[in-house]
Amino acid sequence: MKQSNKRTVALYCRVAREDGYAIETQQKTLIQFAVGKGYINPVCYADNGVSGTTLHRPAFAELAKDIKTGKVQMVIVKDLSRIGRNIFEVLKWIDDCRKADIEIISMCEGVLTERNEQYQPYHIMLAAYARAKGGGCI
């Protein structure tokens, strides 16, 4: 039997075009992933119909606030492109989270807040590929 993890886990979803089915599917997938890892009662933050070209989005802003106040210790996303499409903004956000001891996990790319600096170029390449591909797992 898996032990439940007491960390407060946030699930972040985003789709550029408003689509109830797509955002709901993303949420269900993330919930299954989180529960499968032993994280109970994850909190969902969803930006439906909001472009990823900027990090200035309603649910993402709420997530950032909850991270800053210590309410959230881990964030799980479907893939790197769900955080955003601007590689530099995304990498800065991931680095800020890493420095604050917030773990960021992508279902497709793995742990994005690795302490090992050799992962930085890897994340740049993943972000570029995700942007060119239009999202999704590699």
> How are beta strands 43-48 and 110-111 bridged, if at all?
unpaired
Q: Residue 19, Cβ neighbours under 10 Å: how many?
A: 13
Q: What distance in Å separates the CA atoms of residue 8 and residue 81, rounded to the nearest whole number?
A: 23
Assign 3-class secondary structure to 45-110: EEEECCCCCCCCCHHHHHHHHHHHCCCCCEEEECCHHHHCCCHHHHHHHHHHHHHCCCEEEECCCE
List the domain range (segments joined by +) for residue 80: 9-133
Q: Residue 72, Cβ neighbours under 10 Å: how many?
A: 22
Cα–chain-centroid distance for residue 118?
A: 20
Q: Residue 54, Cβ neighbours under 10 Å: how many?
A: 12
In a domain, 1, yes or no: no
Query: What's the number of domains the chain is made of?
Result: 1
Query: Looking at residue 66, which CATH number applies to its domain?
Result: 3.40.50.1390
pLDDT beyond 70 at 100: yes
Predicted TM-score (pTM) of this structure? 0.81
pLDDT of residue 80: 83
Average pLDDT value for residue range 90-111: 86
In a domain, 2, yes or no: no
Q: What is the pLDDT of residues 24-81, one digit of tens each?
A: 999 999 999 999 989 988 999 999 999 999 899 999 999 999 999 999 999 999 988 8
In a domain, 70, yes or no: yes
